[in-house]
Every structure is written in structure tokens, then in C-alpha cells.
Structure 1
Amino acid sequence: MSGPALPDFPWDSLTGARERAQAHPGGLVDLSVGTPVDPVPELLRAALSGPAAGEPGYPTAHGPASLREAVVASMARRFGVPGIDPAAVLPTIGSKELVAWLPTLLGLGAGDTVVIPELAYPTYEVGARLAGADHVRSDGLTAAGPARVRLVWLNSPSNPTGRVLPPEHLRKVVAWARERGAVVASDECYLGLPGEADPAPRSVLHPEISDGDHTGLIAVHSLSKISNLAGYRAGFVTGDPELVSGLLAVRKHAGMIVSRPVQAAVEAAVSDDAHVAEQAARYDGRRSRLRAGLLEAGLEIEHSRSGLYLWATGDEPCRETVDRLAGLGILVTPGEFYGPAGARHVRVALTASDERIDAAVERLGAS
């Protein structure tokens, strides 16, 4: 029996470029994947190995009240989103699993349509396919045509472009979806890395966007990037209490539960803002240096003021840019991974050590 038709895992196609880059005398500078390289803050390591590590019983899918209350406080403090009901907070096993399974968990299937960004993290499409639903790529509000739209994905700041959607656009998407009874799911993985964006990125739950009404809205958060917890698989979802309650019910039955020590680390992470500011400053410095190097090498940068990536073009097919940079020992991601509109761009991640970023900048300047 075969499962749903899924695309090939795109990063598998980078083997040749990786081997070429690894052969560089100065070694590989891997800017192809947004995986953290900086240390896990000691505060969070201590929480992981603290009292929760000795609890022998099963954790709850909903997590302890203290965790949910800490998330509520952090959403108000960090992102200006007041009034979240602690019951409408649900820890997740990172954010990717929630992104992939959300259409299924919401009951979507054949005949339903998921709207994803024109340039999109591949898992949005995978999630629609897993549910047996259709998907449409669109940054506008009319491309879905007569389709029965049940779910609309937002991602701001964007992966791969670093684009920040203005508040007026977010408001229009929310209004459009509410007119059609569709859920808006906002992937806010990079919201804590505002960079140089003005105005700052907004959560879909922000009163300026939602009018203080979270009906039909879900915000998906990850601690992988802002807290270096990719290895912990730590995230949460919050928003419409009814939608979150439904997700909780299914996840309890399915055993989709975050381990108790990781729940403790999540609580510690959302309760401390200092380590987030420190990590964001690291990425801001890397963004500035790497942007200058790419510009000096003749590439153009679009958007890329926030988040974790630079969206660059050499005005040539993206694989040619990948190969050219691989010759300098620098591995980047072809823009085609994120949709047809990325065919002449590459995504350059900021997730390398300062030493490796500086090596890349030096090579770009000499190219």
C-alpha cells in the first residue's frame, strides 16, 4: 500500500554541490540549512535536566498550567498580544510536525484547498498532500478562485525571503478568510528575529491585526531559532480557543506529546528574554556582514531585513548560482525549493559561526 504522493526531499539534490564545496581548501561554509550552531543557553539546559527529568509518569499533551501561563505572558511581553486564554496554548514537538499535520488535524481532505505563500517552506505543501487536500500558491486574495479554501498559511518574517508582511496585508487576509470560514495559520517561527524591519513584524493575534478576536486564527511558534532548541523539538501553538481545544483532543488520542523535560525547557525559554535578544543580535551582525559580501560578489538582495535568511539573485538560474558559490566552498539553497517563483534566487542562511561567516565574506570579496 502506498502513501500520499509526496515530492522528493529537496535537500537530497544538493549532494554534488556539497561535495564540491567541501573540497575547498578552506573548508565548507554551510549556509544551506537554518539549523542553529550557537550554544544552548545554560538556563535552558538546566531546566531540561532539572526536576522534570526525574518524573517517571506520562506528561500531559496540554502541558502544565505554569508552562501555558508563561507562554501567555511572553506573547504579551514580546509581541504585544494580550488576553490569550492559557487553555488556548498547546506545546508541540517543534513546529514542523504541527505545520505538516495541521490540515489533517483540522479535518481537511479531498475537495478542500490550502492556500500557501507563493514562496513557501516546503512543508506547507507536504501538509496539504498528507491530508489529501489541494494547495494553491498565492500571496494575493483571489488566486484560489472557486476552490473551497479551508486553510490559509501566513509566514512573516518569511522563510526563504525574510519578507515582513505589513499590518494592512495581514488584516486583509484575516478578513478574507473569515468571510469564507477558513482558518488562518500564521507560522511565526521567526517573529523573535525582527532585524531591521520597520514596522516590526506582527503576530496574526496582535490586536492591530485581529481586532482582539482570535476566532479562526492560529499562531505557530518555534523555539528552534530564537532559543537554539532545534535539538529539543520545542514549540507551541496558540490562538482560537475552540481550534486549539480540537487540536488538543486529537493529539491526546494520537499520543502527540512533548516530553516533560522539554516542556520544562520551553517554560524556561519563554520566561527569559535576555537570551533571545543576545541571539537576535548575533544574527543581526551576521546578516550585515554576509549581505555586504554577497553584494560585493555581484549578487542582489531582496527583502531579507528580518528572520534568518538572505534572498539573493545573480540574475541566472538558481542552480548556476549554487554551483558558482560551491566553487568558493559556500553551500546555499536553490530558490526553486520554495516554489517556481524562486527559480533565479538562492537562500543564504545566517546559521554558521562567526568564523565561518567571516570566511564566506572573505571568499566572496576575492571572487
Structure 2
Amino acid sequence: MMPAKLSVAIRHQFPGFTLDAAFDAPAGLTALFGQSGSGKTTIVNAVAGLMRPQQGRIEADGLILSDSRSGRFLPPHRRGVGYVFQEARLFPHLTVRQNLLYGRWFSGRDGADLSRIVDLLGIGHLLKRRPAALSGGERQRVAIGRAILSNPRFLLMDEPLAALDDSRKAEILPYLERLRDEAGLPILYVSHSAPEVARLATTIVLIGDGRVVAAGPAARILSDPATAPALGVAEAGAILPARVEALEPDGLMRLTCAAGPVWLSAQEGLVPGTSLRLRILARDVMLARHRPEQVSALNILPVTVRDMAPDGDSGMLVRLDAGAEALLARITRRSVQGLDLQPGQPVFAVLKAVSVAPGSVGKGSVS
């Protein structure tokens, strides 16, 4: 039975750096997000058993992996961890099929069904090839499959896309989404790419200088003005769950989200009934006191001002209630004064651009 939660609370002193982090990673994909050197990989290595924290406790759904008080420390091979590194680290002399089955053989347990994982990762046509004949994205998919087939309690992924170019990242992202939604494995995922995290994460743990800056559901963390400095103001925004309702005759598709309908250019693979995420950057949201008339923008949502926070010398981040979800707008202080914005005030959010992250990525701006 797969664990529902991974709990981490550790402290370790390095020369010139102290790691002191505590968080819970529930089912789904929990992203450890932060700049290089913030301690993300060290945390993952502690969970994997590759380093022993001086203090603290790590527990996976009742199984104690590490506890400094009792002295318990399970070695890596007894933790049931599937670890995917930046590089695939496949055996070059084995075929894809043999690499996949190695994980099951090494664990000594029957893991996930091979055919199911092959289908999940779209690698059925690669089974007879050797790693040298694969692209970078294909090698990473095989590495993920090998990790899953070792029947792990949870999956650790340390920046698995960092070594790939943009086209290879675009190739593998849909498979990571399927893995998140269908594999039934809790995933701890290290990244310093805000777009990647916004697309994949169900939970976000922001790490800065060895400490947890913020942690919680991805939608809340991404739309919180207080986390914008850690995320990078340019990447601050929100994610809204949405559903494709109809494909229009003029080439647009109509989606529904908590705040109302959204129109985007139709994209291959998106049919009525498809669930997806809309990513809306704060810089792509304009505000109006009254619903704009005779403008080119189609996506205008009624929202309510929740709160505001300063953004540098001249800017403000305005958090908005959009139905049961939240939006974030980045505007100037002068605009706040001109609109006389106050918490609780109804306004309209004009969306200049919306990114779509279903099983395949797309980006559209309808105006």
C-alpha cells in the first residue's frame, strides 16, 4: 500500500551553512523549489538515506526512515525509494526492457506491471533499443520507469529536466503529468524552474538558505503575494483548475473555471471534458472598476480584491478572489490609487495571456 504522506523534520550543520527544514509531502507531486544552493538536493538525499541528518526525523506513512533520538537509520536499500537523477544513469549494455526490469530484480519484489508503466511513459517502441540510441527525454522516461518498477514507497526526482533542452523538456512534461495523476506514487520533486513547478506541483515547499520559506497547496503558494520574492516576481501568478466545455466554430475552445468562462485557441488533444490547469501570471492581469466594453480582450472575469502587498518601489501585488480560487495581479501603486482599490471591492480582471498545462503544453493569448 502506497504511503499517503512523507514527513520531514531535519537539521544538519555544514561549514558555513545550516539546513533546518520541516514539511509534510502528501500524496501527489510535492515540489521543493528554490535557488541553487538552498538545500533542496540535501533534503532529498536525506530522505533517500544518502546522508544522515545530525538531528530530526523522517517518516513515510508510519515507517520511520531516520530518527536521531532513537538512533534509527534505515539504509537506502531498505527504504523503498525510487530515485531519478538529473542524468538517466542507464546501463549502456542493456536494452530498454532490460533496464526497466533491473529495478524489479534489484528490489526483490514484484513492482508495478511492466506493460502499464511502458504505456504510461510511452516507451513501448523503445524496448529493444539501447540507451545510446535514445534521446535525452527518452532516457529520462526509461529511468523513471525503472524507478517505478522497483516498487518504491515514494519517488524522488532531483531536477530530472535540468540536463534537457527546451524541446526535450516539452517532450517529457506530459509524461510527468500522467505519472503524477495515474501512478499512485507520492513524488518529491526538486526544481528551481517556476514554470515547471507551476505546471506539475500539487504541493509546493519553498526553500531558502536551508529553511522552509512557505509550504502548502500549489494554488495557494503561487497566488500568495508574500511568496513572490522567493518565486521571482516575474513568475508570480496563479493556477486555476479548468475544464474544456466546447470547441467553437471559429477555432476557439471554451473553458470553465471557478471564476467563469475562458476562451483560448483550440489545441490538439484538448476535447470537451478535458481537465487542465490554467496558469495566469500576475503581470498578465489588468484590473478595471467596471466591465470593459468594446475591447479586444475576451477573457474578463468578475473578481473581488482580497488584499494587497507592496512590490518594489512602484508596484503592488493584488490578490483577487476568483470564485473559489485566487488570482494575482501586478500593477503600479498609481493604478491602485487611481482605481481606489480596497479589500472586498468587486472589480474585473482582464487576462492578457493564459498558459495551458494539460497532458500537452500550450500557450495562448486571445484578444
TM-score, length basis structure 2 = 0.27
> Relative to total residues, which structure has the larger helix share, 1 or 2?
1
Structure number with greater Rg is 2
* Higher relative contact order (CA closer than 8 Å, sequence separation 6+): 1
